[in-house]
Amino acid sequence: MIYLMIGLVLLGVVALVAGFLREKKLKRKLAKGEIAELPTIQQVQDMECCGQHEVCEKESLLAAVSKQIEYYSDEELDRFRGVRSDEYQPEEVEEFREVLYTMREEEVAGWIRSLQLRGVELPDEMKDEVFLIVGERRVGGG
């Protein structure tokens, strides 16, 4: 256990020294005019898949990934805006199911994001089905 602790402390010291030396080197290059400015973290603006992520943003169920509302021949579902996910009647759940099972698997994540952006909650009875479809798609690689 003591060796593990010593190893972690040494690793931390090495990382600290390496960071300090890198910063010093970058400041020296900046002073000499070799670089125009110090490197900064850049945010990716384009939400298209770049191949650098384990899961493509197109397959994300989070509305925060995109702000663009896209309709999937489901405009009639907008009337459920503001209805809580546990308040749907069985025939209303079937309307959602009909839309779900008439679309291609690769469209499901986008459809869920679209519903979220439109303020329409997915019925509780369907959440497992949707997660299963999206999960299989992710594991299967598309």
pLDDT digit string, tens, across residues 20-78: 888 888 788 878 887 777 776 554 444 455 544 444 544 454 544 556 777 778 889 98
What confidence score (pLDDT) does residue 140 get? Answer: 60
Instruction: Enter the pTM of the model.
Output: 0.52
User: How far is residue 142's CA from residue 130's CA, in Å, rounded to a whole number?
Assistant: 15
Q: Which token pair is 137?
A: 């798609």
- pLDDT at residue 49, rounded to an integer: 52
Closest by Cα among 89, 87, 79 to 118: 79
CA distances from 11 to 1, 19, 25, 88, 116 (A): 15, 12, 21, 55, 44
Q: What number is the average pLDDT over the span 122-132?
A: 90
Residue-level pLDDT at 52: 46
Which class for 136: exposed (0-12), middle (13-18), buried (19 or more C-beta within 10 A)? exposed
